[in-house]
Chain A
């Protein structure tokens, strides 16, 4: 129930920020649409812990800045590889253990790997708890296998959701 209320509030805030016209009619319509959508989400199942994992938001604010730095670091690495005349690439597909167990955690981990240039998550095997990852360079592969992102995501998911 609390999650549905939170979804309605988020939708209403989204409406207000996108609209910019604060007349009674538009704000009222936004409020009604937000509540109806949140209730629909509750009925159809997209307002659950996977669709609206709002309790992970504070943890996200701890994780995202680190991810941003990581993206910039690996962007510079990949950019250097691209403009290197020798093109020193060693593309490999490999499997890596996936520490996160919740749906939100696994999705965040897979997306974070893909988001960092130089590595792409190609497949997820939840039964064996592994991700198959394609890396452009040996450095990229080592970066994933060191597992710092894995640990940070496990801290992010908090194991309760």
Chain B
């Protein structure tokens, strides 16, 4: 009886986590630029991962493996935001403005503009790093 309940509840958590992964992936494709893509990805890397790990804990029953899953969840929750923050900060440092276009067509358009700008002398203030 307990076995079945565990299977059902754990399975529900796993399915919910998978759904968040799917929605996150759809969002990654639908969003127009890097910063809004990060938001879609965070659906997968916090909520998706969290629900799947909780589902595994319930499904597996209580043992030392559960404890390892708890450690894994804690690690994801502490380290995930650091990685996301690093990605966003690096994009900003690299000069990507929030709202600047990053669909394939727009990137191509920007690249041609860059090539055209290359003919002109380089602007001041570049390469301060």
Contact = CB atoms under 8 A, between A and B. Distances in A.
A131 to B, nearest CB: 10
Chain B interface size band reads 35 or more
Which of B24, B31, B39, B85 has most chain A Cβ within 10 Å? B39
A91 interface: yes
Interface residues of A, number: 31
A117 interface: yes
B64 A120 contact: no
A109 to B, nearest CB: 11
Contacts of B18: none
Contacts, number: 98
A17 to B, nearest CB: 5
Interface stretch (A39-47, A79-87, A153-161): A79-87
Interface string A16-52: 0110100000000000000000000000000000000
B24 to A, nearest CB: 8
Interface in B26-84: 26-27, 30-33, 35-36, 38-40, 42-43, 46-47, 50, 64, 67-68, 71, 77-78, 80-82, 84
B83 to A, nearest CB: 9
B88 interface: yes
Contact of B88 (A18, A83, A87, A120): A120
Nearest to A81: B27
Interface stretch (A70-78, A98-106, A144-152): A70-78
Contact of B36 (A14, A91, A116, A121): A91
B98 A117 contact: no
B77 A91 contact: no
A117 B92 contact: no
B15 interface: no
Which secondary structure characterizes the binding site on chain B? helix
Nearest to B23: A79
Contacts of A92: 98
Nearest to B63: A20
Given A17-B67, A82-B27, A121-B85, A136 B39 contact: yes
B89 interface: yes
B92 A115 contact: no
Given A20-B64, A122-B92, A82 B35 contact: no
B85 A114 contact: yes
Given A17-B67, A114-B85, 4 more contacts: A89-B36, A111-B82, A112-B81, A114-B42
What 8 pairs across the A-B complex have the smallest Cβ distances?
A114-B81, A82-B27, A75-B47, A136-B39, A111-B81, A93-B98, A117-B42, A122-B88
